[in-house]
Chains A and B, each alone.
Chain A
Amino acid sequence: MSETTQLICCKCQKPLEMKRVDFGYLNQFFHTDTLRCPECGMVYISEDLVEGKMVEVETSLEDK
């Protein structure tokens, strides 16, 4: 899968690295490690993450 290859930030021409990303939804905040540009901080979130864990968390927060 392309997630395992080196993705490059077009703006900074730097490979993305696993770094902490903060998320917020419905006044709840949390963080996880995901790929982002070490320079400008651009984030990459994969489809697998979105349609798996993220949907799960969104649903559970909406139900709270």
Chain B
Amino acid sequence: MIEGAAQAFTKGCFSGEFASCSYACPLHLDIRAFVEKVQRGSWTSAYRVLRDGFIFPDIVVELCEHSCQEHCARQLCDDPINICELERACLRYVKSKETISYNIPAKPNKIAIVGAGLSGLACALRLSVKKFQVTVFDSRKGYGGVLRDHLKAELFLEDINRQFAKEKVDFRFNTRVESLDMPEFEAIYVATGKGGDSFGLLDSWDSHTFATAKHGVFLGGTLVGAGLLQAIDHGSIVSRQIEKFIPTGTVYEYIDEYPLGKANRYINVENKESVALTPMSNHDGYTAEEAIAEAKRCLKCDCKSCLETCEMLESYHKIPHRMATDVYKDSLVMEGFASRIMTRQLSSCNMCGLCKTGCPTAVDIRDLALFARRDRVEHSNYPKAFHDFWLRQMDTAVNEAAAFLPPANQKTCSFAFFPGCQLGSSNPDYVKESYAFLTQQLNSDVGLMLSCCGAPAYWAGEEEKHKEIIENLRNEWEKLGRPVVIFACATCARIWQQFIPEANIVSLYEMIKQKLHDQGQPFVDEAAVFDPCSAREYSQMRESVRSLAVEAGIKIDELQFHDERAKCCGWGGHIQAANKELFDKIVSNRVEADDKPYIVYCTNCRDVFAAKGKPCLHILDIVFALDDGSRKVPTIKEKRDNSLKLKQDLLKEYWNLNYQIPTTPGDNLQLEIPRELAQKMEEKMISETTVRAAIAHAEETNEKIYDPQDKTYIASYVEGEFTCWVRFSKDDDGKYQLHKVYSHRMKFLV
């Protein structure tokens, strides 16, 4: 994996960074940390944050125009936090402003500061705190620059004296520096103020390093055009530049960690409660209680939008940057020498893209997970067992169960129905009724495309396999005369739009809505519409389904998450084999989201919910009066049988073709499977087809084990990535009974 390739997916994420207000602050105060301390009424701690950021807190609070407030996320839902007054309150209520002096050994390095204005003093203080030997020169008496003439000069002087109280700095006032040839000093900072003497170095000043043509001499502050507060920042930056310069004699480029552009990134405030600005009872400023109340309005912006909306991201609790870094680290792991850490997580993504919908910068973790899965597949180190079950189902859908036919007696068609692999597997009548309807409405000018869009391969990261399926679909579609494709499944529509964008598409429900009015069997009075996650991009599909339900006489309710905020039912991304616990949790959350029955228009949503006992109607159940929402989920074998029988029935009815359903080993065995075992098989994704094949194989080869105690036989059967074990008995009439069934992923080597 190329370094940075995974990280590119999360580039826009700003989780874990400073809040936008801090980027707007000329001195980059950690406002979130400051406000958090005010919220607790910890004035001393809050003051320390102010001092760390501002160097001279009383001066800065007085001079600052508080542009931070213009970049407060609160303004998106009500009023910005009154940060200015919180700072003033802090200065007012802190018990002691006494500085702390750290017991650090004195450094021998001598540094000269020319100019005792705010910038020079800021640099001097930062360096003296670290015990450098600092000498400050100024041609006039006392501190310079704005500090001389300001109305609050006394207050400013007090603050400066306070901050320098415990530091040893050699102030040489009334001392004009004539030349910078001062060999006793290892570095010099010239901060002589606006229009001040730059000793002829202004032209050579490098804004990226603050250095000049003269070795060891730095310029900054209002001398180079900075504003007052920026001048303080310059002093601070130069102190760090000097620290790096002294041991190496090299000047390094200064990296701006607080680019102003980052001040315009805001967290999602959609679900934030609106709280009005705290009123001030006294014109002099907030009381302590008022300040605390105002601080409590702060959203302490640190975007966790994706972690709050997605169960997977919430359960792993890793911010996108970290995930991307871990994906990259995993790619460097040498087999047997270290462990990968992202396998389970990247395999637990439903690929629904809700993270992107809620993300202020549209970071899509789905893309990262897909990228990682593809990379792992390409390097043959992805557990195949995670997707094997669905890939085998897909193989049936694109081979035995597939059919591409124009209407009888036509070579091409204007429309083609692509029901998707799951619709007919769940209930063949969904497809039969829909196709009959379309045939009638479109004057028989509608062909049939029975196949799979390849979503299982796409989600499994099997790029090559998916490409093959897409190529085949494209060829077949072209052979049909490039018809408009009618979709029942939003996932199919999405995949087609992404990979065969030249095809015009329309949803089945829209077609039905245009033609059917006041029809259908409601079965229920009231229901909640559960939008499939893949329908987020298809507003017409969503609206059509609602119209059909309403026309059938159902009062529909919206879930808390619907339309563009639709959540995956759990089936997306095929996470069940990799993370069953999470899958079950997601399904339960969806089922419990509303007590009313659900109306769905994705067969996977229907079957996933029905398996949990949730009354659930497919919109086609209503439109064609097929089911009242109590239909049980077909078993894995029934789904396979349904898809093949559907093909057989349709080919016979519309084309008068006889399709012979292929047999599988053990098809004809008389086999009884106790209910609890049948249930276990579905949970463990073991098909009855596999169980039958296992028994048939054991009987045919005699490769079985006899247990004399209960007179049962035991046999194993390898299918795909799984080894299935069956324990069975046979009665005198040749009937079989299944006693146990289980499967594992590892293989024993004979």
Contact = CB atoms under 8 A, between A and B. Distances in A.
Interface in B335-364: 335-336, 339-341, 343-344
**Interface size bucket, A side?**
35 or more
A63 B343 contact: yes
A47 B714 CA distance: 11
A31 to B, nearest CB: 9
| Max count, chain B CB within 10 A of own CB: residue among A8, A23, A62 | A62
Interface string B712-734: 11101000000001000000000
Interface stretch (B95-103, B501-509, B698-706): B698-706
Nearest to B684: A51
Contact of B705 (A8, A26, A41): A8
A57 B744 CA distance: 11
B745 A21 contact: no
B748 A45 contact: yes
Contact of A22 (B340, B344, B712, B749): B749
A64 B712 CA distance: 38
A3 to B, nearest CB: 9
Contact of A62 (B383, B708, B714, B750): B383
B705 A23 contact: no
Interface in B343-389: 343-344, 381, 383, 385-386
Nearest to B741: A47
A43 to B, nearest CB: 5
Contacts of B386: 62
Nearest to B746: A25
Contact of B746 (A5, A10, A51, A57): A57
A44 B335 contact: no
B203 interface: no
| Max count, chain A CB within 10 A of own CB: residue among B336, B341, B714 | B714
Given A21-B748, A25-B745, A62-B343, A42 B703 contact: yes
A6 B710 CA distance: 11
A63 B703 contact: no
A24 B746 contact: yes
Contact of A47 (B335, B708, B725): B725
| Max count, chain B CB within 10 A of own CB: residue among A41, A43, A57 | A43
B709 A10 contact: no
B705 A16 contact: yes
A20 B500 CA distance: 53
A51 B747 CA distance: 14
A55 interface: yes
14 contacts: A5-B709, A7-B714, A8-B705, A11-B701, A16-B705, A23-B748, A25-B747, A27-B335, A43-B716, A43-B748, A44-B714, A45-B716, A58-B746, A63-B341
Given A9-B706, A27-B381, 13 more contacts: A7-B705, A8-B705, A11-B702, A22-B748, A23-B746, A23-B747, A25-B747, A28-B336, A45-B748, A47-B740, A50-B742, A62-B385, A63-B339
Interface of A: 2, 5-11, 16, 21-29, 37, 41-45, 47, 50-51, 54-55, 57-58, 61-64
Instruction: Identify the 5 closest CB pairs spanning chains A and B, nearest first.
Output: A25-B746, A64-B339, A22-B749, A5-B709, A8-B706
Interface of B: 335-336, 339-341, 343-344, 381, 383, 385-386, 578, 701-710, 712-714, 716, 725, 740, 742-750
